[in-house]
A and B are shown apart, each in its own frame.
Chain A
Amino acid sequence: MDIEPKRIIRVLVVFTGLFISLVVYLSYFEVFEAAKIQKNAYNKRQWVNEENILRGMIVDRNGNTLAYSEKTENGQIRYYPYENIYSHIIGYSSKEYGKAGLESSYNQELLAIDAGNPIQEFKDKLSKTEKKGNHLILTIDHDLQVYANQKLKGKKGAIVALNPQTGEIYAMVSKPDFNPSKLKENWTEIIENPDSPLLNRGTMGLYTPGSVFKVITATAALEDEEVSKGFQCKGSVSIEGYTLKDYGETAHGAIDLEEALVKSCNVAFSQMGLELGKTKLKDTAQRYWFNKEISFDLSTKNSIFPESKIVTKPDLGASAIGQGKILVTPLNMAMVAASISNDGRMMKPILVKEVLSPEGRTIKTGRVATLSQVSSEEVIAQLKEMMVQVVEKGTGRNARIKNVKVAGKTGTAENETKKTHAWFIGFAPAEDPKIAIAVVLESIDKTGGESAAPIARDIMIKALEKLQ
């Protein structure tokens, strides 16, 4: 064979290779990269499709409209009548700044984008019917949400209130917040604010829990018969040269577990932690859903019990009283309180009660589900009684409600800001809990009992009135 045809064939092979590489690259692109790329904010297609569909309404559990859209000459406008009050729950849907909150996580439902039914699409096209999105009914109680907002006004922090038996969220507030109707005007201010108003502190804020964590240490101690239940408190204790102090260095003297919780005794709890060891403490914390993802209608962060970072005895002692490297989300702590009130059954939190089609047909419901049994019913019953005593005569006295038995636990968490966070978690009425709550006030430099407990009390009163 001549050299010329040989070379021609070689070149042909190269050409074939080039074209096949195009096919391979294109397929690779479609399979592995396309999905990610499509979501880019510069892809205008996302918006064009939306313009043609009237975005669905969002209402609270009693039918108050929280967000709705109206047609205009060119497109539609989204209205948020309660502005800042729902900045973190509903979020926003903006061409310039994307989507957040339920507007983002329920985008498909709000636009009624189902898994493509071409025949329906064809029919719609023929009949030229206007496309409408689905509506969301939330578990939120609007009055309670407004009230909780007022209570947190001017402070930084979060409140999460929920139904302990079903996991339905009644109110969820995070401060500072922003006005979703005025994103354009305020955007630079919002993103440059060092307090990150866009962050939903309720589900994503990670805080040092301080003494509220003691309910978890107490659970572990009650489960373990070998852990001592009597302690000698001198106001401070030295663990391998590291001194742990009680609040105000008060010496509690000889106390049992209940009194230790009622008085929030650091000396007693750190000793319990040392006796329990980090593995047992971690196991209990994980039953309370630490280190695990909470599947929720909004994005969440995991509470952290960092077993690998707890190396020395001082680390362990600090962890047992909720200091050190432990971090929790307010939502998770509200779920902790709720599970204790609910005989140890931790329920999956629900925010969207129902998705309704424009015609009013139910498309989806928020299913009530148990996440975890945090401990045995006996242990939980004892713990519940102790938490009632905390409010009756201990650090949580400011959460007392006339004629209603309230259970709770306070926390004053030291953190890297030098100013302590104030915590309160609790539920009421203790014998038949209707509401569980977590309140955290960020860097307020006051104790949980003096600042967080009264807020929790007021919200619980309001909730019990509403739920009568």
Chain B
Amino acid sequence: MLAKLFSYKTPQNLLVLMNAMALFLIYFYREDMDRTFIIAGISLIALIYLSNFLLQKISYGDHYLFLIMGMLVSIGVIMIYRIHPEYGLKQILWLGFGILSFFLAYLITKKMKGWERFTNIYVLLSMILFIATLLFGVKVKGATNWIRIAGFNFQPSEIIKILFVFFLASYYVKQNVFKNPYTFWVIVYSYIGFLFIQRDLGGALLFFLVFITIAYIYDKNRKWILYNLAFASLIALFSYFFINHVQVRVITWLDPWQHIDSKGYQITQSLFAIASGGFFGTGVGLGHPEFIPEVHTDFIFSAICEEMGIFGGIAVIMLFMILVYRGFKIALYQQHRFFRIVALGITMMFGFQAFIILGGVMKMIPLTGVTLPFVSYGGSSLISSFVSLGILQVASEELDGEQEEEHGY
């Protein structure tokens, strides 16, 4: 027992080791680190280690999910701390809340039954949140998708993400919720439309991708999927020609160097960071990721590439790949149809969101600002990701599948 506790083969211990080494490097290379940093570091290590321990006691489902998250979140916190110590401290606080909300989401989702019955409530809640954003929204970084409550900024779209997945899942359990089939499309596109109005292009793209993929797996009207794709392409073309900020994204993707001092500044700074890291990186604390605007949120991956190298970056990509793999595996084994779709939806949210921002900051695809789940700085994003993960944890357990037999294929 004791031997196992200290064995380097246990993933939790590897995580502790990785964290300890990285934190030592930051402490060593940054002169401005003090005692708070040591306390913060120890709390980070303890949080992840203990919550892993706790999860193993209460859930008999997939334990890898939490480990993958632990690794991602550690890399994220280390980078954020290294860039902005005060943000790093806040992120550790958020991480504490996040883990709390993970367990809460896990327990609530597990104890409450009949989630598949609330289709209308999911839609209603989402729309209320959307409208609230429109009315009380604060503009941050060109997108009006923040609400300010009691001194805290939060992003309603992070909650809507989960509601959207639940809505899709509850609809596709039987696909007979609405009498008129068009109602469903209208609702889906109003989600996307709202995001578009808020200028949250990344969000709109993310929602569409999740929707179209779920539809591909579950929708009975196969032709409709093609119609949707055609419709989406039309919209995309239209926006490219008539909506300025969409055009800007494409232009800076094709040739950011021409606009290096204006529109292309951010993406080129990101490319400089990735380029100067090389394969092994400059080492934590030795690069200059702070030259990239918004490095702690959308561009955190560029900072990772600069200081931990392309190999560090590839590791992050691989972690997301394993996360997606575990998520799909959970879906394949889950007997409960609703939670099967929820597992897929949540996994796709993680997967597509990671792909959109990773591909964006390395200029493989046009850049649309979304956060990198678990890694980027930000309370709303972190908590939403943790809640999603908690729900995925429930889905990874064996659930009552009776409803499956009634309406199965």
Which A residues are closer than 8 A to B by beta carbons?
A: 2-5, 7-9, 11-12, 15-16, 18-23, 25-27, 29-30, 33-35, 37-38, 40, 42-45, 48, 125
Determine if B49 is an interface residue (Cβ-Cβ < 8 Å). Answer: no
Confirm or deny: B288 has a beta carbon within 8 angstroms of a beta carbon on chain A: yes
> In the assembled complex, which residues on chain B have CB atoms less than 8 Å from the CB atom of A30?
274-275, 278-279, 310
Which residues of chain A are within 8 angstroms of B127 by Cβ–Cβ distance? none
Cβ-neighbour of B325 out of A12, A25, A45 (below 8 A): A12
A45 contacts B274, CB within 8 Å? no
Tell me the chain B residues, 328-359 only, with Cβ under 8 Å from chain A: 328, 331-332, 344, 348, 351, 355, 358-359
Which residues of B line the A interface, CB within 8 A?
A: 29, 213, 216-218, 257, 260-261, 265, 268-269, 271-272, 274-276, 278-279, 287-288, 291, 305, 310, 313-314, 317-318, 320-321, 324-325, 328, 331-332, 344, 348, 351, 355, 358-359, 362, 364, 409
When A12-B328, A22-B358 are in contact, do A42 and B261 touch as well, CB less than 8 Å? yes
Q: Given the complex of chains A and B, what is the CA–CA distance between A3 and B218 in angstroms?
A: 9
Question: Which of B257, B268, B310 is in CB contact (< 8 Å) with A26?
Answer: B310
Partner of B275, one of A22, A38, A125: A38
Taken together as a complex, chains A and B put the C-alpha atoms of A40 and B320 apart, in Å, by: 32
Beta-carbon contact of B325 and A29 below 8 Å: no
Taking the closest CB of chain A, its distance from the CB of B302, in whole angstroms, is 11
Contact of A5 among B260, B276, B317, B332 (CB under 8 A): B332
* Given known A-B contacts A19-B355, A42-B260, A48-B288, A3 and B409 have beta carbons under 8 A apart: yes
Interface pair A12/B275, CB less than 8 Å apart: no
- Tell me if B276 and A45 are in contact (CB < 8 A): yes
Contact check, B213 vs A11: say whether CB atoms are below 8 A apart: yes
Question: Could you say which of A8, A20, A25, A48 contacts B344, with CB atoms under 8 Å apart?
Answer: A8
Asked if B320 and A11 make an inter-chain contact with CB atoms under 8 angstroms apart, the answer reads no
A25 in contact with B362 (CB, 8 Å): yes
Sampled A-B contacts (29; CB under 8 Å): A4-B217, A4-B218, A7-B217, A8-B331, A8-B332, A19-B317, A19-B355, A22-B364, A25-B362, A26-B305, A26-B310, A26-B314, A29-B274, A30-B310, A34-B276, A34-B278, A35-B275, A37-B271, A37-B275, A38-B272, A40-B268, A42-B265, A42-B268, A43-B275, A43-B276, A44-B291, A45-B276, A45-B291, A125-B29
Of A2, A26, A35, A42, the residue contacting B362 (CB under 8 A) is A26
A2 touches B409 (CB 8 A): yes
Shortest CB distance A41–B (Å):
9
| A12 and B348 alpha carbons, distance in the complex (Å) | 10
A7–B213 Cα distance when bound, in Å, is: 10
Do B274 and A34 touch (CB < 8 A)? yes
For the complex, what is the distance from the CA of A63 to the CA of B310, rounded to whole Å? 46
The docked-state distance in angstroms from the alpha carbon of A2 to that of B409 is 8
Chain A residues contacting B213 (CB-CB under 8 Å) are 11
A5, B324: Cα distance in complex, Å: 15
**What residues of A have a CB within 8 angstroms of the CB of B318 in the complex?**
19, 23
CB contacts between A and B, total, < 8 Å: 107
Once bound together, how far apart are the Cα atoms of A9 and B313, in whole Å?
26
Q: Residues of B contacting A21 with CB < 8 Å?
A: 364
For the complex, would chain A's binding face be called helix, strand, loop or mixed by DSSP majority?
helix
Q: Which 4 A-B pairs have the closest CB atoms?
A: A34-B275, A19-B321, A43-B272, A12-B328
Cβ contact of A37, chosen from B272, B278, B314, B409, cutoff 8 A: B272
Contacts A23-B314, A43-B276, A44-B272 aside, 19 further interface pairs with beta carbons under 8 A come to: A2-B409, A3-B409, A11-B213, A15-B321, A15-B324, A18-B355, A19-B317, A19-B318, A20-B321, A22-B317, A26-B274, A27-B314, A29-B274, A30-B310, A40-B272, A42-B265, A43-B275, A45-B272, A45-B287
Given contacts A8-B217, A37-B271, whether A15 and B288 have CB atoms under 8 Å apart is no
A420 to chain B, nearest CB (A): 43
List the A side residues contacting B344 at CB < 8 Å: 8, 11
A22 touches B272 (CB 8 A): no
- Give the Cβ gap from B215 to chain A, nearest Cβ, in Å: 11
The answer to whether B310 touches A4, judged by C-beta atoms less than 8 angstroms apart, is no
Which residues of chain B are within 8 angstroms of A35 by Cβ–Cβ distance?
A: 275
B370 to chain A, nearest CB (A): 15
Indicate if the CB atoms of B310 and A16 lie closer than 8 Å.
no
Contact A25 B364 (CB under 8 A): yes
Q: Is the CB of A12 within 8 A of B324?
A: yes
Measured between beta carbons, the chain A residues less than 8 angstroms from B261 are: 42
**Contact assessment for A27 and B321 in the assembled complex, using a CB-CB cutoff below 8 Å:** no
- For the complex, what is the distance from the CA of A29 to the CA of B269, rounded to whole Å? 15
In the complex, which residues of chain B have a beta carbon less than 8 angstroms from the beta carbon of A23?
Answer: 314, 317-318
Say whether, besides A4-B217, A15-B351, A22 and B359 are in contact (CB < 8 Å).
Answer: yes
Which residue of B has the minimal Cβ distance to A49?
Answer: B288
| Bound complex: CA A379 to CA B321 (Å) | 74
B252: min CB distance to chain A, Å? 14
Closest to A21 in B: B364
Instruction: Quote the shortest CB–CB distance from B260 to chain A (angstroms).
Output: 5
A8 vs B344: C-alpha distance when bound (angstroms): 8
A22 in contact with B325 (CB, 8 Å): no
Give B336 Cβ to nearest chain A Cβ, in Å.
13
Distance between Cα atoms of A45 and B260 in the complex (Å) = 16
Considering only CB atoms, which chain A residue lies closest to B283 in the complex?
A118
In the docked arrangement, what's the CA distance between A97 and B275, Å?
Answer: 22
With A11-B217, A19-B355, A22-B358 known as contacts, the answer to whether A42 contacts B325 (CB < 8 A) is: no
Q: Which A residues lie within 8 Å of B324 (CB)?
A: 12, 15-16, 19
Give the shortest distance, in Å, between A19 (CB) and chain B (any CB): 4
Provide the bound-state CA to CA distance between A316 and B274, in Å. 55
Asked if B216 and A11 sit within 8 Å, CB to CB, the answer is yes
Q: Report the Cα distance A11→B216, complex, angstroms.
A: 9
Residues of chain B lying within 8 A (CB to CB) of residue A20: 321
Q: Is the CB of A22 within 8 A of B328?
A: no
- Asked if B288 and A45 make an inter-chain contact with CB atoms under 8 angstroms apart, the answer reads yes
B126 to chain A, nearest CB (A): 24
Q: Within 8 Å CB of B291, what residues of A?
A: 44-45
B253 CB, nearest partner CB in chain A, Å: 13
Distance A2 CA – B313 CA, assembled complex (angstroms): 37
Bound together, the chains give a CA A9 to CA B288 distance in angstroms of 41
> Cβ of B355: which chain A residues have Cβ within 8 Å of it?
18-19, 22
Of the candidates B260, B275, B279, B364, the one whose C-beta lies within 8 Å of that of A33 is B275
Question: With A8-B331, A38-B272, A45-B272 as given contacts, are A26 and B313 in contact (CB-CB < 8 Å)?
Answer: yes
Contact present for B320 and A19 (CB under 8 Å): yes
The smallest C-beta distance from A51 to any residue of chain B, in angstroms, reads 11
